[in-house]
Structure 1
């Protein structure tokens, strides 16, 4: 019986490690450092305010909600850039191009260096969390924002780990994957079978069964096709 934990093999050679497109630049590292700092400031503000008020349940629950919704949001975002737009789409074009190429070469993602992989999400996180850090001191708001955006910022790294052999992953990551806290290779493998229209959520994957069983994304695709005449790429897998 085939091992379901093995993703489809790449059809072409993976990128070389000296390929500039997979290397981290200093600007990439700077954005990741700033994004992480913003999230840590938000998390710290939540913890400090909770300690002063001796009320932990609200911020803790808010963080749990943030974690759960991060997975759902990652699914909608992944679905959208997989199926709509192209390399010329403003702002999202590079990500759309990257995700389309990822279906042809799923292992290529693992060749990207850490900051190269996360800098775009870190930059978006920075612009969202910065005003929250400046204007808000509510521990519940910061409990939600720090976990929600922290998980989204690192979702692409969770995605990378779902493509790595377990032997090359830190034991803690493997344990979290096996516990369902982070997206597992087995679950994500289903996304890499044509027409690439299942298991879009890439933080923990907890929403994937619900979204697929209830055909949520299919319903959205039919609505957009009926209302605007826009067909998703998953209806024509050869477009990948």
Structure 2
């Protein structure tokens, strides 16, 4: 009997471990997203080299394009996070698994740090590949490629920044902790507010720089009112959180 119970316990641990492992399909989509971003970087670099010598104005444009992409990505990550927290379900095309994962995340916030990177990023990686590839193929504008690549890259990795915001500091690589301290990527001190009642704000997960502004001006509340008026669909935040949601503290 004891041996049987031990076997059941070991099998349960193995099943739990497999639940957080990425599949080969997820890894393939993650690789596609990364490859698409690398192509964007490579092509923009080659275009800059071909246009050499490059004037100061072009460097200013390239820098602004990267910064605009970065700032816009934080806003985009917030809109994406808000949408999947509030609308759709497991049956939703493409994003169904993400919606269910984010809902489960509110019940078990720490589970995100157990997941493989590819398992967390594969859906957004696939979307990145499909969205950025046409620009890589058709565009010969280095500034546009930098803008698109910056925006798409930060949106894609925003879910990893999100996971790092839940990771104990002692387990973070030093460079990640430094970037969090500098506010370049999402720090826990910013994201923790999303996991406190009323659980309906601080959605942005690149740097979190937009969070205070969006909440102060009730951006998402206004968006929910518009969606309700147009579609008749109520956001989940009006009836949730449920009793199974976990409040996280510092």
Same fold (TM > 0.5): yes
Contact 1:201–1:207, Cα closer than 8 Å, also in 2: yes
1:148 deviates by 0.6
Structure 2 residue aligned with 1:29: 27
Q: 1:108 Cα shift?
A: 0.8
Closer/same/farther in 2, CA of residues 70 and 101 from structure 1, 3 Å limit: same
Which residue number corresponds to residue 72 of structure 2? 69
Matched residue count = 226
Pair member with larger Rg: 2
CA distance in 2, matches of 1:78, 1:238: 16
Partner residue in 1 for 2:159: 156
Q: Can you give the 5+ residue segments of structure 2 that lack an aligned partner in the other structure?
A: 1-11, 246-250
Asked if 2 retains the 8 angstrom alpha-carbon contact of 1:198 and 1:208, the reply is yes
Q: Is 1:119 the equivalent of 2:122?
A: yes
Q: TM-score, normalised by structure 2?
A: 0.85
- Aligned Cα root-mean-square deviation (Å): 1.7
Query: Secondary structure at the residue paired with 2:166?
Result: coil
> Taking CA–CA contacts closer than 8 Å with sequence separation of 6 or more, which of the two structures ends up with the larger relative contact order?
1
The match for 1:102 is 105
- 66-75 vs 109-118, which deviates more? 109-118
| Alpha-carbon distance in 2 for matches of 1:57, 1:107 | 41
Aligned to 2:48: 50
Q: CA deviation at 1:227?
A: 3.9
TM-score by length of 1: 0.89
Match of 1:70, SS state, is: helix
Q: 1:208 to 1:189 in 2, by over 3 A?
A: same
Is residue 214 from structure 1 mapped to residue 217 from structure 2 by the alignment?
yes
- Against the structure 1 CA distance between its residues 38 and 193, is the aligned structure 2 distance closer, same or farther, given a 3 Å change threshold? same
Task: Name the structure 2 match of 1:5.
Answer: none
Contact kept, 8 Å, 2:94 with 2:123, in 1: the verdict is no
